[in-house]
Amino acid sequence: MRTRFLALATTALTALVAGSSACSAAAACSGNVVTTASYRMSLDIGSPEEMYLPSEVKARHIKTGEIMLGGEMSMIGTPPAGTRIYHVEVHICNKAGSVVTKLKPAIVVDHAMLPVAIMIGIGEPISDYHYGNDIALKPAAKITVKVTVKGQVALFHATVPKR
Ligand SMILES: [Cu+2]
């Protein structure tokens, strides 16, 4: 089951991002990095994240989790046997190292299309802006993640953390 959200709430983003400290944020597009002709991309596989719409964050004063700014949210029920839920994040920067927003990347994890949501951590600076979703993966498995943006392909090799 998937729910589709199309709204882009730029004003909410600006309001929620303003005033956050930049010191705690990791640099955008660092770590597992692949470069293409125009972009520098990074892949991160972490713990599942709670994702909220900007209106929910505002109305309920939510302080942790991620704001979903657009794209598709994946609804995962019970993960298949031997797998756990992870959060796959792709940060996309230009060659100067600044995040590029409002792209429509296609993300394929081991030949399966990942519904792509656009997210930013609540209270995080714009460098946290990323594309991705929650997905069930096998701990310690070796996976490939193919990201295509405007015809440019970045192929990542990664090992799923054990958690
Ligand atoms: Cu995220």
* Domain count along the chain: 1
Compute the distance from residue 46 Cα to the ligand 1 centre, in Å.
9
Compute the distance from residue 89 Cα to the ligand 1 centre, in Å.
6
pLDDT of residue 12: 45
| Distance between CA atoms of residues 82 and 91, nearest Å | 28
Q: What is the full per-residue pLDDT of the chain (163 aa) written as tens digits? A: 444 443 334 444 544 444 333 333 457 899 999 999 999 999 999 999 999 999 999 999 999 999 999 998 887 889 999 999 999 999 999 999 999 999 999 999 999 999 999 999 999 999 999 999 999 999 999 999 999 999 999 999 999 999 7
Structural domain for 78, as ranges: 2-159
pTM to 2 decimals? 0.83
Q: Which two tokens stand for residue 82?
A: 């031997």
Residue 91, beta-bridge partner list: 42
Residues with CB under 5 A from ligand 1 (ion): 66, 119
Of 130, 146, 143, the closest CA to residue 30 belongs to 130
Compute the distance from residue 136 Cα to the ligand 1 centre, in Å.
14
Compute the distance from residue 68 Cα to the ligand 1 centre, in Å.
8
pLDDT of residue 26: 52
Strand spans (E) along 19-141: 32-35, 39-46, 51-52, 66-74, 84-94, 106-109, 112-114, 117-121, 130-137
